[in-house]
């Protein structure tokens, strides 16, 4: 039984059936899905979503059997003032509770997550005890050169009682030696998950494979899971997520209608249509899309548009493409191509 086909069918709690013949119709019960619709989507509009939308995403996650909903960032109110940024950039407890009430993970099957960025979070004062919060998990996002702070943040959040997760960003732009050093630093921390984060949407299949094997080897025997957070610049976010799942990743990020910065994320409606665990339901996500995200798409832009294709191919931050799409020549793709070819 190769690792590649290491999926399980568990109809009967006492009996596990394995198959390597048609693994695509089987599943691993330990695979967990995280919704990052609000957290990642808020990078487009400074997290100025109204409460009704956040509640609709929450309701859809509960109904769809999604395991985690990342409701926003736990970032600094000094760096991201409330006058300019919506509440999901800071995730005050009162804001979360206004939308989800006294959320009960056991009753709903859903845990809430927040993300804290290294160098952008007042984590020592803002991440308090879990017993006072409806949040279950803190994910720490960091660049390679911020790994020391990330280790402290993970330790702090763990001591406060949260599940923790280490998200090294923009991995396609980090050298292999630096990735190795980051993984060595993260391995001894209490982080339950280490996530492969393709911020630039640059990775092709063989690169996902190489990174998965590197991450899996680094955390082998530690009980840590490998996670995936893929961007859709090359229309590969879903494919790369499936690839990681085949290899053994048990934590995967997705967002409804792919909502997320730039090209967006792995679309939840594609992911749930692929996963065979009967606890996952597709229909609530479709309802969320037609009632809330189609109207939102009229006002805000995301998705694998040509300028994002190009920054993905060239392993660039999507920033230049986002600026181009906000400018007067947004559909002049050859001019954008000429510009970024000249710039690199």
**Which of residues 187 and 296 has its CB atom nearest to a copy of itself in the complex?**
296
Contact between 270 and a copy of itself by CB under 8 A: the answer reads yes
Select from 44-52, 82-90, 220-228, 281-289 the region that touches a copy of itself (CB under 8 A).
Answer: 281-289
> Binding residues for a copy of itself, how many (CB under 8 A)?
40
Task: Please pick, from the candidates 81, 101, 129, 273, the single residue that binds a copy of itself as defined by CB under 8 A.
Answer: 273
Q: Please tell me the distance from the alpha carbon of residue 341 to that of residue 318, in angstroms, as a whole number.
A: 14
Whole-angstrom Cα distance, residue 269 to residue 286?
7
Per CB under 8 A, the list member of 108, 126, 332, 340 interacting with a copy of itself is 332
**b/e burial code for range 80-119 (CB count within 10 A of at least 16 → b):** beeeebbbbbbbeeebbeebbeebeeeebebbbbbbbbbe
The CB-of-296 to a copy of itself minimum distance in angstroms stands at 13
Q: Which two tokens stand for residue 34?
A: 């995280």
Q: How many CB atoms lie within 10 A of CB 177?
A: 9
259 contacts 35 by C-beta, under 8 angstroms = no
Q: Which is nearer to a copy of itself, 72 or 304 (CB)?
A: 304
Among residues 139, 51, 159, the alpha carbon closest in space to that of 97 is found at 51
Q: Tokens in use for 50?
A: 């109204």
Q: Tokens 């998990």 map to which residue?
A: 137
User: Which of residues 32, 276, 287, 339 is near a copy of itself by CB under 8 A?
Assistant: 287
Closest to 304 (Cα-Cα) out of 245, 260, 269: 260
Q: Does 289 bind a copy of itself (CB under 8 A)?
A: yes
102 touches a copy of itself (CB under 8 A): no
Could you say which residues in the range 193-252 bind a copy of itself, by CB under 8 A? Answer: 204-207, 232, 234-240, 242-243, 246
310 binds a copy of itself (CB under 8 A): yes
Q: Is position 8 an interface residue for a copy of itself (rule: CB under 8 A)?
A: no
Residues that bind a copy of itself in the complex, under the rule CB under 8 A: 23-24, 204-207, 232, 234-240, 242-243, 246, 267, 269-270, 273-274, 282-283, 286-287, 289-290, 294, 304, 306, 309-310, 313, 331-334, 337-338
């Amino acid at each position: 039984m190769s690792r590649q086909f290491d999926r399980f069918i568990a109809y009967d709690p006492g009996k596990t059936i394995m198959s390597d013949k048609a693994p695509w119709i089987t599943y691993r019960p330990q695979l967990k899905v995280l919704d990052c619709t609000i957290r990642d989507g808020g990078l487009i509009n400074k997290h100025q979503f109204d409460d009704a939308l956040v509640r609709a995403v929450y309701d859809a996650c509960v109904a769809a059997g999604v395991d985690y909903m990342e409701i926003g960032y736990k970032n600094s109110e000094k760096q991201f003032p409330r006058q300019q940024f919506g509440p999901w950039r800071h995730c005050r407890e009162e804001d979360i509770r206004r939308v989800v009430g006294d959320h009960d993970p056991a009753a709903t099957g859903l845990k809430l997550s927040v993300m804290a960025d290294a160098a952008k979070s007042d984590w020592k004062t803002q991440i308090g005890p879990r017993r006072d919060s409806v949040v279950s998990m803190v994910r720490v996002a960091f660049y390679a050169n911020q790994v020391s702070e990330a280790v402290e943040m993970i330790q702090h959040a763990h001591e406060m009682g949260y599940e923790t997760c280490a998200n090294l960003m923009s991995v396609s732009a980090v050298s292999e030696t630096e990735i190795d050093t980051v993984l060595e630093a993260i391995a001894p921390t209490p982080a339950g998950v280490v996530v492969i984060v393709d911020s630039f949407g640059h990775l092709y299949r063989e690169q996902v494979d190489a990174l998965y094997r590197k991450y899996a080897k680094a955390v082998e025997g530690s009980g840590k899971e490998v996670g995936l957070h893929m961007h859709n610049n090359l229309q590969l976010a879903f494919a790369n997520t499936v690839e990681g799942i085949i290899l053994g990743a048990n934590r995967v990020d997705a967002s409804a209608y792919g909502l997320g910065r730039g090209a967006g994320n792995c679309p939840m409606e594609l992911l749930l249509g692929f996963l065979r665990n009967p606890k996952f339901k597709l229909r609530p996500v479709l309802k969320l899309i037609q009632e809330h995200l189609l109207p939102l798409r009229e006002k805000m832009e995301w998705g694998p548009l040509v300028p994002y294709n190009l920054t993905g191919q060239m392993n660039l931050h999507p920033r230049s493409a986002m600026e181009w799409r906000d400018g007067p020549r947004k559909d002049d793709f050859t001019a954008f191509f000429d510009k970024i070819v000249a710039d690199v």
